[in-house]
Amino acid sequence: MKKRCSVVFAVMLAAAAPLSVAVAQTKADITIIKQGAAGKTGVDMSGMAVSGGPSAELFRKVLESDLARSGFFTIIKEGGGSLKISGSCSDAGGSLSVRCRVAGPIKSYMDRSYSEASSAARRLAHRVADDIVWAVKNTRGIASTRIAMVGNVGGRKDIYVCDADGANLVRITNDGTPCLTPRWSPDGGSIVYTSMRSGFPDVYLIDMRTYERRRISDFPGLNSGAVFSPDGGTLALVLSKDGNPELYTMSLRGGRTTRITRTPRVAEASPSWSPDGGRIVFVSNATGLPQLYMTDMTGNAKRIPLVGSENVSPDWGPAGIVFCSRREGRYTICVLDPNTGRDEQITMDLANYEDPSWAPDGRHIACTRTQGYHADIYILDTQKDPPIRLTTAQGEWYCPSWSPR
């Protein structure tokens, strides 16, 4: 199995003339393969009345799907369940009006009204689903979030973005050259990624409101693996401007760089910040094979002892460090507790799983799943729900990054 986002950056070898950024809308569907599980709250939605045009029906369908995908609920038939969702959804004259009441046996959780254009039915359903998750479970929902990824369609590798349920798949680059590792800013307003658009591996930033793009790191040699700090003001990235691929930080105001590691004849890759911004986990091949290391801002780096022969692609979130580990001949997804050093393997089947990225709920993970030489984006649930296949459009899909909001 060839590692798609490897420490040696093999995918960066191609070069081509630059092209302008284009935005293209494509259709995407989602295949949900998760089943009901013990410990979930049963939800009866029979009290949600629907009237008017098709947007009302779409709203209810998407809302039901979002609640099931959250992992906290299971949708049941009329008359059962401990949670009742009632109210109305009316589509009339291009406007969608929603009243949503959520109540349990002894407690009312929510009673709100919403109004949106009929064309925004899907977006409104995502918003209402997240409000229900927050009201009932006191935790963030993921329905309104987005996922960026690399798509290889017809031999062209570009950055795409879709909703958390796989819908609204949009291409946001048209570089005509390899693209790598899209990463969101903390406010969800920007994405950084590496491209060979100029003929060299440089880091670009895309404004997700306007889709305007600018090059922000074009030092001689390699510019790769850029990821925002938790406050959004600094990037961690790998540069070879001083001769060897090393870990640096770079201020987004003024472009001042600070070198973190000094490891001659060793390559660094895939940095990820701790939630408090004080440490960085990254990949190094100092021992011959790529392994995870942790460093503070002074460059005091230490290897994280792990079982796998290779341990790569870390993403540090509030629930720990999720990473890809090669174990028993295949790539698996594991979650590490950085305080105890213990890790748990999440994937157990015979497929290969790579490129993990935390959802903002700290429960779900987006990753690449490869089987039969075909790669798609899947959603994993750390609380053991079966995986969800996110991408069904033609092409190969990998390197996902989940938006923070």
Average predicted confidence (pLDDT) for the chain: 90
CATH 3.40.50.10070 positions along the chain are: 41-137
What is the model's pLDDT at position 38? 54
CATH 2.120.10.30 positions along the chain are: 10-23+144-402
What is the model's pLDDT at position 33? 28
What is the model's pLDDT at position 269? 97
Q: What pTM did the predictor assign? A: 0.90
Q: What are residue 333's phi and psi, to 5 degrees? A: -105, 130
CATH level 3 topology of 10-23+144-402? Neuraminidase (2.120.10)
Tokens encoding 236: 């961690």
Q: Which residues of the chain have pLDDT under 70?
A: 1-38
Tokens encoding 212: 């305007």
Query: What's domain 41-137's architecture?
Result: 3-Layer(aba) Sandwich (3.40)
What is the model's pLDDT at position 35? 31
What is the model's pLDDT at position 366? 98
3-state secondary structure of 64: helix
At 357-379, the pLDDT tens digits run 999 999 999 999 999 999 999 99
Amino acid identity of residue 279, one-letter, is R
Tokens encoding 168: 């609204």
Q: Contact at 8 Å (CB) between 173 and 195? A: yes
What is the model's pLDDT at position 43? 96
